[in-house]
Structure 1
Amino acid sequence: MCAVFTEVLEAERIGMDDNFFERGGNSLLATRLATRLSAELGEPVPVVWLFSAPTPAGLVTQLELTRSGRGRVDAAAAFDVLLPLRPGGGKAPLFCLHPVGGVAWSFAGLAAHIDPQRPIYGLQSPALNSAEPLPDSIEDWARRYVAEIRAVQPEGPYHLLGWSLGGVLAHAVAIQLQDEGQHVATLAMMDSPRTESVAETTVPLADLLGGLLGEQAAEADTELGLAELAERIAELPEPFASFGAERLGRVLDAGTRSLELLARYRPRRYKGNLVYFTAALDDPTGATGAASWSDAVDGTVHNHAVTATHWRMTTESALARIGHVLTAAWADTDRA
């Protein structure tokens, strides 16, 4: 187990208690690790296990439970609305809201760059595990996420980070938490330009799969049909294979619906500052993204350039930059 961890992470040594994501792992490397472990052990090792048991010791325990019939392989858990990416720790959690494709797996790489005592949770689209329609508005969608967040952390301070569509949702969540008398300590966005007019009625597949494929989304074959795309993804280990044509169809429909909701959304003003991360290779000055939020917050928009394109905002180097900025901001808050 440790040898495969070491190989995939290209590390000198990995111990039984070393956390995969804290040692530089991400969702794509997790896929590679699951594939290698499955081949070495001759039995399936679902990649979803890495979210709840990200150490060699944890995976050994899960394997022993499964072999004895006392454990259950639940690959579908990777599509839950609330996804624990690093549940342990004594500090207030960071809640990460998904891009338009609805998947929050790529945020797991943040574990290598923020305090190990700060839990990390992903918020994912309800369309991933349910055929129910999306909420009727951004506000209703945010209300669903507020309930999920407060089920884990009933009282503030709250820390929110959204990527792309997730930034808009994070803003709506922050306002609703404030309406409920809660303290929002951090509202942060990763390249989430706000627009009140949507010219396109469909979302490219590369965009929809951005949270799933991360840095490879830009190279995704957008000419593939739904059946071909499902077949391609089915070749990957769980939970990727669980996407299937039906779930992918829901993701496509949800992406189109998201554009309609964004076009109608008129945000109220958030009481506080905004930490904004600009994909500098797409928007060098932040004029498109960060500036678009100036009238939706009553504090300051702190713009931080990240040397990446929009769909490469969860690469190792980009997350290192984001984690560094957030850590510095939290240190200032703690001193205050």
Structure 2
Amino acid sequence: RLVSRIRTTLNVELPVPALFETPTIATLVGQLDRTPGSSSAHSFGVLLPLRAEGDLDPLFCIHPAIGLSWAYSGLLRHLDRQQPLFGLQARRFSEPDAAAPGLEEMVEDYLNEIRTVQPAGPYSLLGWSFGGIVAHAVAVRLQEAGEEVALLAMMDSYLPTDGWESERLSYDSPEALSAIVESIGHDPTSPESPLAGLGVDGFSALVKVFVDIANLSDHISVGKFMGDILFFAAAADKAGSELAPDVWAPHTNGRVEVHAIDCVHGDMTQPRPLSEIGQILAAKLAVNAGKHGKA
């Protein structure tokens, strides 16, 4: 809403991620004076630093099917101020000609990005929707490399189950936008959407990323994570608290700790649900930091 008001009142196109970098009004004014587009590349990079500073081990948040991790910025106010927070985003936004990756290629890509920030564990991972599947795969790969994964958290993430079928989408199919709206809880083409500033190229990349990921459903294979899974279920539109253990239990040797959040899937990153999620995450991260002498 703030970006929309700035656009309307000041006729300035401020990228939403610019707000991540501006903790005060004074620094926000500095952003308005920048050359247009100067923070655009930063906003669409594969590694998105939502908060780069801090003495604690970072929390890495992996994008949902739209490929962007901007929505995780809402966690910042609920986490320790010394908690670095990074998003992983689809490469197609920064490299439009990049080929559509499979899950394994995506995991390898994001692992390389994560290691540029944190070369060794313990690692903390979070993923919303499709991002939870990727986070699980990244966690398994890290453990196979001998690294410790202190936290694996998912926000309403589900694997395709036996007998589950999905009609393949194309980039220009009308069903693609409907599926995106259902996935993120709002129309990204609306002037009030946080994604309104994407521009033609950015929106085209978003649709392509979403369709490519949606069409991956029958090519997803996951290993087994050695540890507990922290799961936030969107309880308002499904019996998530019942489904999560059924889907993920075969893919962990630990337990699936489910927290039912009173919202639908697309609203998981809205302020109220994210406040509840953030407080639980903050407590878990604080316990892990204490175990590693960083509290």
* Bin for the TM-score computed over the shorter chain: 0.7 to 0.9
- 1:290/1:116 Cα in 2 relative to 1: closer, same or farther (>3 Å)? farther
Q: Which residue of 2 aligns with 1:253?
A: 208
2:253 is the alignment partner of 1:298: yes
* 2:145 paired residue among 180, 186, 195: 180
3-state SS in 1 of match to 2:241:
coil
1: distance between equivalents of 2:228 and 2:193?
41
Distance, in Å, in 1 between the alignment partners of 2:194 and 2:242 is: 40
| Cα distance in 1 between the residues matched to 2:234 and 2:255 | 19
Q: 1:314 to 1:236 in 2, by over 3 A?
A: closer
Q: Which residue number in structure 1 is paired with residue 117 of structure 2?
A: 152
**Unpaired runs of 5+ in structure 1?**
1-31, 221-228
Any conservation in 2 of the 1:46–1:73 contact (CA below 8 Å)? Answer: no
1:253/1:198 CA distance change after superposition, 3 Å = farther
**AA matched with 2:113:** E
CA distance in 1, matches of 2:254, 2:260: 19
Report the alpha carbon displacement of residue 42 of structure 1 after superposing the two structures with TM.
5.8
Match among 26, 38, 46 for residue 81 of structure 1 = 46
How many equivalent residue pairs?
283
Mapped pair 1:97 → 2:97:
no
Q: For structure 2, list consecutive stretches of 5 or more residues without a partner in the other structure.
A: 170-174
Instruction: Establish whether residue 208 from structure 1 lines up as the match of residue 180 from structure 2.
Output: yes
2:97 maps to what in 1?
Answer: 131
Question: How do residues 229-308 of structure 1 correspond to structure 2 at under 5 angstroms?
Answer: 232=189, 240-244=196-200, 246-308=201-263
CA positional deviation for 1:251: 2.9
1:118 correspondence with 2:83 = yes
CA contact (8 A) 1:76 1:239 kept: no
What does the per-residue CA deviation read over 1:139-169, in whole Å, with 9 as the maximum and x for residues that have no partner? 2211100111111111211111101100000
The amino acid across from 1:131 in the alignment is: D
Seq. identity, %: 35
Q: Is the 8 A contact 2:17 2:70 kept in 1?
A: no
The structure-2 alpha-carbon separation of the partners of 1:276 and 1:247, relative to structure 1 and needing over 3 Å to count, comes to: same
Work out the CA distance in 2 between the residues paired with 1:210 and 1:151: 34
Change (3 A) 1:238 1:108: closer
TM superposition shift of 1:325: 1.4
Contact 1:85-1:108 within 8 A present in 2 as well: yes
Query: What CA deviation, in whole Å up to 9, does each residue of 1:185-240 have, x standing for no partner?
Result: 110000001115432223642443578xx54x2xx3xxxxxxxx8xx45x579973
* 3-state secondary structure, aligned to 1:295: helix
Inter-partner Cα distance in structure 1 for 2:116 and 2:93: 20
Q: Is residue 279–residue 306 contact of structure 1 (8 Å, CA) maintained in 2?
A: yes
Q: Deviations over 1:238-261 (max 9, x none)?
A: 9733331x4434433332322333
Name the aligned partner's letter for residue 124 of structure 1: Q
Match of 1:310 among 265, 270, 279: 265
Aligned counterparts of 2:15 and 2:204: Cα–Cα separation in 1: 23
Q: 1:210 to 1:128 in 2, by over 3 A?
A: farther
What is the distance in 2 between the residues matched to 1:247 and 1:33?
20
Is contact 1:101-1:209 (8 Å) kept?
no
Aligned AA (1:58): T
Partner SS for 2:16 = coil
Report the TM-score, using the length of structure 1 for normalisation: 0.75
The range that moved more, 71-80 or 271-280, is 71-80
Report which of the two structures shows the higher radius of gyration computed on alpha carbons.
1
Change in 2 beyond 3 A, CA 1:84/1:209: farther
Which whole-Å CA distance do the structure 1 matches of 2:206 and 2:13 have between them? 26
**Whole-Å separation in 1 of the counterparts to 2:114 and 2:221:** 23
Q: Return closer, same or farther for 1:249/1:319 CA change in 2, 3 Å cut-off.
A: same
Instruction: Out of 54-63 and 151-160, give the one that drifted further.
Output: 54-63
Distance 2:285 2:192 in 1: 38
The reply on whether 1:326 has 2:264 as its aligned counterpart is: no
